[in-house]
């Protein structure tokens, strides 16, 4: 197999993924042309911070969707977990970490609750999480006694608003940030190289060496440029570190773990999965426990970023997270999707919101555009699938 | 030959990268029953889709001549308007709607104001049901009827559209012998009323029995049209045309080296999952030895699949009682993972619904049941997985562009090989194969039999459930017959004939009723 043919095969196989990356690059290019400040260091930092909690939710949501379910309750759960932390930290005067742990525990319990109904009682997730959406929202009001609480201040506030800067000194830019990213890039290159060697050892097809090197160099250049921008601004946002850890961990879980395989198997064909020895109930249960956990993480990040908790926090977050997954190539019927896809899908929405805000586009028009993008992304996906199925 | 009602001339249909049909011609005489035979993927269904307008005029080359005039169908509605109705292999009935609603779906009987006239619809439906020999109330929901009756309702639906040419794609594939017989009889009755039938079938004995002429298609080309009244128009001749080679041996030879008992169930009783008190499998006991192929013969509804699935991790039924033994030791098979761990594998009769993740690739389907061997501490070794998949692709001759190809795009025979790979990789001691050759072509069947032989040669035990008695007679060492949930006989292959098996398969009737 020649290198070029191989590239094409890879590209067409990953069309769902690469199509969306191309769209993302095009949107970024468009906005940077329309507005010079779009790619400024300050704004890039802003995009990451503004949308981080949706991205965290999207990671959990894409696993839910691959498993053939849906979760409508995550917005309410963000509010509930954030408010529990707020009550403990702001009202109760507890240290910041007590708030964080309490929020995570509440998220896990909520996940256990929903997972129980979906997996062991067999109620469709749509119904269970619709109920959860009302339930958790109501509990939020009860916990907060229907009033907002603020400010957190201190370390809790820093979770979402703090930066790692100046740890290694700076000369107009943050050395630490650059080093972290450089480590990341080298790590990426090493992993790619090792996987290439392993593939060769198992006699699998790989792309030709020049393509391989070009790919690594391109990725490295883009990432280091991004790091440079951050280093020139306020440094490395804490949230970005958290996000990077979550993305790497969950990419591995979905692609490489037995649990991840089982999620894909259940979403692809429930009966076949069952008859292949997959413990369907157990897997479904943990899908929702995990979603509850990540909703709590998002709840902490969101409340920290808002520096407080409001009864109406997190409204419509579930829809943004779901949209991110579908824009990122997840299938409505389950069995298809990727964490990286959901992240890119979320970033597309983030970049569009931010870009339109910079241009002073009206909120109403922004909604219209977002709606159309979601529709067109899925339409593109359906069109692709049809083409693939008639191509034989 | 009488006047041709239909001529398809030099039909060529190409998909991107593949020529599905190349100058295929078909001439059907008015009032005849015409069979089309060919291996899976030969182009039979594509040809029928061209005829019925699923592929509209302009998307293919060639000409369709109906009643002596050239026609151009833009859609399935155009062809139905001219009396051409196709009944697909997968029945297109809506389970929750009534018989009458299904018959007139899209063709509703309207009264004043354009509202549906249910009285008229139901009475006309009753008339149509009588014509196809079905005694059912038109208001019965489809889901309450068996596959055989559903097939007849499809025909009633066709009759409601004033059908002149009826196309049936594998009409008897899912039917038992009685229902098949009834259906073939019905086709003859329709023939007397002047309805022409085109029947696509893999069941060559049926073709031999019913068809006046048979057209053979291979690799997208017409091979020949045989007049079935000629001498020498035998199944062997059709097979020769279909595969392009002489398949004098439809079943591969094997040495019969039978060892110790591997697996046994005793007093196995299974209750229906929803209807309380109904016993689906009644006190069944059976055993299988190393190197042995044991057949289970039974009519549809005898409890064959129910027996197998209940053994395999209680995947069917409730209140399952009885004991399973592996190598003489009692084992529990209460869950699928447990059954797999004890060395039992079950390849389902319905691979699309129960066997495969059709949107996933070959590799991940093969590893689906054996991930335990590919993983340590919950992490899958992706490279080893690829290697395993490649090994089975080569070993079982799975024709796929790559192990990363999506399984849904493979032909039935290759999908079945993926299912077998999945189970062979779990390294079972006993392999239960439920209808392993259903809906796959002659060439692939032979390959499946070869795989079974290799399994038993390696000392495994194989249980084959099949509706096709010749198949069981061809590959088994011993055959159990199952009737109405009971094991009614155990026949060594030397004594087994189609007649005595069929007798045992129907014998318990009086006892139960």
Last residue of a domain, one of B196, B212, B243: B243
- The parts of chain A modelled with pLDDT lower than 70 are 1-18, 166, 168-172, 202-204, 385-392
User: Has residue A191 been placed in a domain?
Assistant: no
Given the structure tokens 């929020």, which residue do they identify?
A103
pLDDT at B402: 83
Let me know whether B217 and B337 are in one domain: no
CATH label of the domain that carries residue A298: 1.10.3470
How far is the CA of B335 from the CAs of A78, A283, B338, in angstroms? 37, 15, 5
User: Has residue A348 been placed in a domain?
Assistant: yes
Question: Taking residues B287-303, what's their average pLDDT?
Answer: 88
CA distance A177 to B182: 78
Percent pLDDT > 90 in chain B is: 36
Name the closest residue on chain B to residue A198, using Cα atoms.
Answer: B383
Looking at the complex, does the CB of residue B325 fall below 8 Å from at least one CB of chain A? no
Q: Would you call A268 and B357 a contact, using CB atoms and an 8 Å cutoff?
A: yes
Query: What HEC string does B383-405 produce?
Result: HHHHHHHHHHHHHCCCCCCCCCC
Q: Would you call A202 and B358 a contact, using CB atoms and an 8 Å cutoff?
A: no
Q: Report whether pLDDT(B173) > 90.
A: no
Measure the CA angle with vertex B306, ends B289 and B372; round to 5°: 65
Looking at the complex, does the CB of residue A201 fall below 8 Å from at least one CB of chain B? yes
Domain count, chain A: 1
Q: Nearest-CA distance from B55 to chain A in Å? A: 12
User: Has residue B256 been placed in a domain?
Assistant: no
Query: Domain range for residue A319?
Result: 3-165+234-390
Question: Taking residues B372-387, what's their average pLDDT?
Answer: 89
Residues of chain B with Cβ-Cβ distance to A261 below 8 Å are 364, 367-368, 371, 380
Nearest to A272 among B355, B372, B409 (CB): B355
CA distance A66 to B26: 46
Q: Would you call A258 and B357 a contact, using CB atoms and an 8 Å cutoff?
A: no
Looking at the complex, does the CB of residue A250 fall below 8 Å from at least one CB of chain B? no
Residue B2 contacts residue B31 (beta carbons within 8 Å): yes
Let me know whether B232 and B381 are in one domain: no
Let me know whether B82 and B141 are in one domain: yes
CA distance A310 to B133: 69
User: Has residue A285 been placed in a domain?
Assistant: yes
Looking at the complex, does the CB of residue B357 fall below 8 Å from at least one CB of chain A? yes
Residues within 8 A of B (CB atoms), A 360-389 only? 389
Residue B66 contacts residue B82 (beta carbons within 8 Å): yes
CATH label of the domain that carries residue B96: 3.40.50.300
Looking at the complex, does the CB of residue B312 fall below 8 Å from at least one CB of chain A? yes
User: Has residue B149 been placed in a domain?
Assistant: yes
Cα torsion angle, B305, B306, B312, B315, sign: positive
Q: How confident is the model at residue B145 (pLDDT cuts 50, 70, 90)?
A: confident
Residue B141 per-residue DSSP state: B
Strands (E), B134-260: 165-169, 196-200, 213-218, 221-227
Looking at the complex, does the CB of residue B380 fall below 8 Å from at least one CB of chain A? yes
pLDDT at B502: 79
Q: How confident is the model at residue B513 (pLDDT cuts 50, 70, 90)?
A: very low
CA distance B51 to B43: 12
Is B118 or B41 the better-scoring residue by pLDDT? B118
Query: Domain range for residue B164?
Result: 4-243
Q: Report whether pLDDT(B483) > 80.
A: yes
User: Has residue A125 been placed in a domain?
Assistant: yes
Let me know whether B401 and B500 are in one domain: yes
User: Has residue A220 been placed in a domain?
Assistant: no
Q: Would you call B368 and A272 a contact, using CB atoms and an 8 Å cutoff?
A: yes
Residue B202 contacts residue B173 (beta carbons within 8 Å): yes
Let me know whether B238 and B287 are in one domain: no
Instruction: Round the average pLDDT of chain B to a whole number and report it.
Output: 87
CA distance A9 to B8: 38
Residues 6+ apart with CB under 8 A from B9: B25, B62, B63, B64, B65
Residues in chain B: 513
Complex ipTM value? 0.82
* Strand arrangement of the beta sheet that strand B69-71 belongs to: B18-29, B4-15, B61-66, B69-71
Looking at the complex, does the CB of residue B359 fall below 8 Å from at least one CB of chain A? yes
Residues of chain A with Cβ-Cβ distance to B315 below 8 Å are 274-275
Cite the DSSP H helix spans in B396-484: 412-425, 442-457, 469-475
Let me know whether B238 and B277 are in one domain: no
Q: How confident is the model at residue B91 (pLDDT cuts 50, 70, 90)?
A: confident
Looking at the complex, does the CB of residue A93 fall below 8 Å from at least one CB of chain B? no
Token pair in block for residue A105: 């525990």
User: Has residue A209 been placed in a domain?
Assistant: no
Q: Would you call A275 and B348 a contact, using CB atoms and an 8 Å cutoff?
A: yes
Let me know whether B435 and B507 are in one domain: yes
Cite the DSSP H helix spans in B298-377: 304-311, 336-341, 362-367, 371-374
Q: Would you call B336 and A273 a contact, using CB atoms and an 8 Å cutoff?
A: no
User: Has residue A27 been placed in a domain?
Assistant: yes
Residues of chain B with Cβ-Cβ distance to A337 below 8 Å are none
Let me know whether B233 and B372 are in one domain: no
Q: Nearest-CA distance from B336 to chain A in Å? A: 5
Q: How confident is the model at residue B16 (pLDDT cuts 50, 70, 90)?
A: low
Choose from A196, A268, A276 for mutation: most chain B CBs within 10 A.
A276
Q: Is B466 left (phi over 0), alpha (psi -120 to 50) or beta?
A: beta
Is A190 or B2 the better-scoring residue by pLDDT? A190
- Which pLDDT tens digit goes with each residue over B174-231? 677 788 888 889 999 999 989 999 998 877 888 888 999 999 988 788 988 988 888 7
Let me know whether B272 and B212 are in one domain: no
Let me know whether B114 and B201 are in one domain: yes
Is B428 or A204 the better-scoring residue by pLDDT? B428
Looking at the complex, does the CB of residue A336 fall below 8 Å from at least one CB of chain B? yes
Is A390 or B347 the better-scoring residue by pLDDT? B347
Element (H, E) at B261: strand B261-271
User: Has residue B248 been placed in a domain?
Assistant: no
User: Has residue A228 been placed in a domain?
Assistant: no
User: Within 10 A of B91 (CB to CB), how many other CB atoms are there?
Assistant: 16
Q: Would you call B378 and A199 a contact, using CB atoms and an 8 Å cutoff?
A: no
pLDDT at A52: 93
Let me know whether B195 and B268 are in one domain: no
Q: How confident is the model at residue B308 (pLDDT cuts 50, 70, 90)?
A: very high
Domain count, chain B: 2
**Helix/strand/coil for A35:** coil
User: Within 10 A of B430 (CB to CB), how many other CB atoms are there?
Assistant: 26
Q: Report whether pLDDT(B146) > 60.
A: yes
pLDDT at A204: 66
Let me know whether B439 and B508 are in one domain: yes
Q: Would you call A277 and B315 a contact, using CB atoms and an 8 Å cutoff?
A: no
Token pair in block for residue B57: 């005029």
- Which pLDDT tens digit goes with each residue over B393-406? 999 988 888 888 88
Residues of chain B with Cβ-Cβ distance to A257 below 8 Å are 375, 378-380
Q: Would you call B346 and A391 a contact, using CB atoms and an 8 Å cutoff?
A: no
Residues 6+ apart with CB under 8 A from A19: A329, A380, A384
């Amino acid at each position: 197999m020649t290198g070029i043919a191989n590239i094409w095969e890879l590209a067409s196989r990953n069309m769902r993924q690469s199509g969306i990356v191309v769209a993302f690059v095009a949107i970024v290019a468009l906005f940077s042309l329309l507005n010079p400040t779009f790619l400024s260091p300050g704004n890039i930092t802003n995009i990451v911070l503004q949308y981080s909690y949706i991205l965290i939710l999207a990671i959990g949501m894409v696993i839910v969707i691959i498993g053939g379910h849906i979760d409508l309750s995550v917005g309410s759960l963000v509010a509930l977990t954030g408010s529990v932390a707020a009550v403990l930290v702001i009202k109760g005067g507890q240290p910041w970490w007590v708030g964080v742990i309490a929020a995570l525990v509440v998220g896990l319990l909520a996940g256990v609750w929903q997972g129980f109904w979906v997996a062991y009682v067999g109620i469709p997730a749509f119904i269970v999480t619709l109920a959860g959406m009302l339930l958790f929202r109501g509990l939020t009001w009860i916990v907060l006694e229907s009033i907002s609480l603020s400010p957190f201040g201190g370390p809790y506030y820093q979770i979402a608003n703090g930066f790692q800067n100046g740890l290694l000194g700076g000369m107009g830019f943050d050395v630490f940030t650059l080093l972290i990213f450089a480590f990341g890039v080298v790590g990426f290159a090493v992993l790619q190289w090792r996987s290439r060697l392993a593939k060769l050892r198992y006699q699998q097809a790989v792309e030709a060496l020049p393509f391989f090197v070009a790919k690594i160099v391109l990725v490295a250049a883009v990432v280091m440029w991004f790091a440079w921008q951050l280093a020139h601004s306020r440094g490395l946002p804490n949230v970005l570190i958290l996000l990077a850890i979550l993305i790497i961990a969950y990419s591995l879980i979905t692609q490489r773990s037995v649990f991840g395989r089982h999620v894909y198997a259940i979403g692809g064909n429930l009966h076949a999965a069952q008859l292949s020895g997959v413990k369907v109930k157990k897997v479904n249960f943990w899908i929702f426990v995990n979603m509850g956990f990540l909703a709590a993480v998002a709840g902490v990040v969101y409340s920290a970023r808002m520096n407080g908790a409001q009864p109406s926090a997190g409204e419509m977050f579930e829809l943004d997270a779901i949209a991110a997954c579908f824009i990122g190539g997840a299938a409505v019927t389950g069995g298809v999707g990727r964490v990286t896809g959901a992240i890119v899908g979320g970033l597309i929405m983030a970049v569009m919101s931010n870009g339109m805000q910079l241009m002073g586009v009206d909120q109403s028009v922004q909604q219209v555009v977002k709606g159309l993008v979601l529709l067109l992304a899925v339409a593109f996906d359906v069109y692709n699938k049809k083409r693939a199925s008639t191509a034989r | 030959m009488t006047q041709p009602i239909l001529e398809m001339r030099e039909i060529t249909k190409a998909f991107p990268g593949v020529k599905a049909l190349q100058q295929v011609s078909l001439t059907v005489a008015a009032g005849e029953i015409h069979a089309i035979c060919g291996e899976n993927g030969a182009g039979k269904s594509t040809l029928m889709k061209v005829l019925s307008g699923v592929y509209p005029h302009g998307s293919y080359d060639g000409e369709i001549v109906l009643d002596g005039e050239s026609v151009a169908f833009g859609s399935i509605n155009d062809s139905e308007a001219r009396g051409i109705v196709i009944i697909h292999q997968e029945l297109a009935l809506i389970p929750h709607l009534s018989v009458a609603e299904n018959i007139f779906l899209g063709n509703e009987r309207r009264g004043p104001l354009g509202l549906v006239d249910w009285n008229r619809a139901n009475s006309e439906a009753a008339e149509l049901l009588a014509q196809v020999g079905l005694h059912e109330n038109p208001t019965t929901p489809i889901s309450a009827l068996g596959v055989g009756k559903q097939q007849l309702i499809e025909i009633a639906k066709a009759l409601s559209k004033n059908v002149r040419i009826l196309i049936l794609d594998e009409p008897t594939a899912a039917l038992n012998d009685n229902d098949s017989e009834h259906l073939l009889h019905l086709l003859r009755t329709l023939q007397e009323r002047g309805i022409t039938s085109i029947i696509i079938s893999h069941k060559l004995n049926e073709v031999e029995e019913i068809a006046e002429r048979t057209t053979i298609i291979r690799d997208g080309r017409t091979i020949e049209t045989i007049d079935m009244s000629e001498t020498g128009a035998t199944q062997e001749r059709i097979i020769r045309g279909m595969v392009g080679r002489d398949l004098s041996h439809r079943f591969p030879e094997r040495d019969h080296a039978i060892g110790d008992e591997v697996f046994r169930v005793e007093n196995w009783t299974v209750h229906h999952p929803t209807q309380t008190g109904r016993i689906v499998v009644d006190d069944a006991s059976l055993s299988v030895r190393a190197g042995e192929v044991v057949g289970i013969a039974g009519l549809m509804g005898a409890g064959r699949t129910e027996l197998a699935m209940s053994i395999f991790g209680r995947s069917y039924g409730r209140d399952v009682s009885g004991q399973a033994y592996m190598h003489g030791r009692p084992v529990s098979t209460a869950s699928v993972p447990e059954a797999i761990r004890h060395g039992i594998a079950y390849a389902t009769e319905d691979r699309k619904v129960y066997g495969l993740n059709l949107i996933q690739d070959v590799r991940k389907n093969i590893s689906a049941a054996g991930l335990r061997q590919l993983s340590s501490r919950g992490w899958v070794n992706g490279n080893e997985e690829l290697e395993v998949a490649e090994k089975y692709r080569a070993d079982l001759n799975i024709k796929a562009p790559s192990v990363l190809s999506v399984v849904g795009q493979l032909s039935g025979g290759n999908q079945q090989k993926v299912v077998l790979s999945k189970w062979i990789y779990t390294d079972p001691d006993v392999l239960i194969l439920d209808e392993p050759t259903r809906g796959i072509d002659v060439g692939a069947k032979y390959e499946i039999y070869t795989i079974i032989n290799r399994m038993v040669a390696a000392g495994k035990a194989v249980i084959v459930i099949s509706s096709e008695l010749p198949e069981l007679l061809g590959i088994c060492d011993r055959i159990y017959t199952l009737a109405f949930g009971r094991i009614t006989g155990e026949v060594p292959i030397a004594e087994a004939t189609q007649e005595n098996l069929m007798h045992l398969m129907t014998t318990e009737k009086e006892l139960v009723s």
